[in-house]
Amino acid sequence: MATYEVLTERGSEPRVEATQLEGGRWQVRVAVEGGERSLIRPAAVEPVIIPRDELAADVLAGRAGALHPSLPEHLEFAVVPELLERAEKFRIRFGDLHYTPTTIFQPDGRKPYYDERYPWRCLVRVTTPGGWTGSGVLIGPRHVLTASHCIDWTPGWAQVDVLFTNSLSLAQSGATHAYAETKVAPGQISDADSDEDYAVIVLDQRLGDRFGWLGARTYDSDWDDEQLAWRSIGYPQDWSATGQTAAYQRDFLLNELGADLGSARLIRSDTFDNWPGQSGSPIFGFWSDGPYAVGVVSGQGADYNYISGGSLLASIVQRARNDHP
């Protein structure tokens, strides 16, 4: 559900009519007689920046360990999503010049999917007023884990669509707060910020109660270069410029940078494929009680793609859950 406000003259009451369309869509008309009227977007997201030492203190005090996933009893569970047939490969065109993205490590391991079962339905697309779209995942009853640089820190609203596909979504929500350790602007990720490029969006609706959510835990360097069953889901824009198709990838290698062994960690991979729009995508694995995110997609490069993770990721999730249950 999306919430908007309509400004009218005093004493003028709007009339609302709804008409059901094809494909589960509804057309909603708001009529106001007399005077000027305008559509007002929800209020700007309120930033909540938690200093690193506070988050680290939560970890040391045992207030932020592994945060368990939630699978509502009415939902069906699937370890592998329902895949779609791959459309013709998107190519970038400039006049007569056609070329393909270069940050995909061939063969491209991503596959399109659509699956309303848990946890694949927990994927969300994040949209900001600047037209920026990124990826995220439900990480609490009203919480979304994404990349810090996917948040519009120049105050503005944020919209979250659950399993957005072909211009439709299972649900839609606005955002009230955004928790982060560092405000990271799109296209301005520095070496100092790259391992802190995660944020938690607080929603104005409890979508997690309907769709479930992933857990969160700290990446362990013992997992470096192990062929563990890592997964990722997101919205790459090399398939569709507006992120219309969800992507799924599995069984890639992760490696924590040797110089980054602190509470905030930068993880890299040369077998995980990434493209703009996948920023904020969860990197997760399955444990005995369900899926846990260990990081979010942060950036890309010619040699490696990068993931932000570490113990402070779970701490920021815990702080947002405690403040806004």
pLDDT at residue 304 in the model? 87
Q: Which domain holds residue 16?
A: 5-40
Confidence check: pLDDT of 310 > 50:
yes
Copy the structure tokens of residue 249: 């990838």
Contact in structure between 234 and 135 (CB atoms under 8 Å): yes
Q: How many domains does the chain have?
A: 2
Confidence check: pLDDT of 102 > 70:
no
Confidence check: pLDDT of 168 > 60:
yes
Both 182 and 196 in a single domain?
yes
Both 99 and 204 in a single domain?
yes
pLDDT at residue 190 in the model? 60
pLDDT at residue 1 in the model? 47
Other CB atoms within 10 Å distance of the CB of residue 321 = 22
Both 188 and 141 in a single domain?
yes
Closest CA to 116 of 210, 214, 202, 204: 210
Copy the structure tokens of residue 2: 């999306």
Both 172 and 34 in a single domain?
no
SS3 31: strand
Both 93 and 127 in a single domain?
yes
* Mean pLDDT to the nearest integer, 125-146: 92
Query: Which residues fall within 8 angstroms of residue 279, CB to CB, at 6 or more apart?
Result: 134, 135, 146, 147, 149, 150, 296, 297, 298, 299
Both 268 and 304 in a single domain?
yes
pLDDT at residue 3 in the model? 54
pLDDT tens, position by position, 183-206: 988 766 666 667 889 999 999 999
Q: What is the CATH number of the domain that holds 52?
A: 2.40.10.10
Both 92 and 196 in a single domain?
yes
Both 158 and 110 in a single domain?
yes
Closest CA to 267 of 297, 238, 246, 233: 297
Confidence check: pLDDT of 64 > 80:
no
Which of the given ranges, 63-67, 160-164, 300-304, has the highest pLDDT on average?
A: 160-164
* Average pLDDT of the residues of the chain: 84
Rounded distance, CA 112 to CA 165, Å?
A: 10
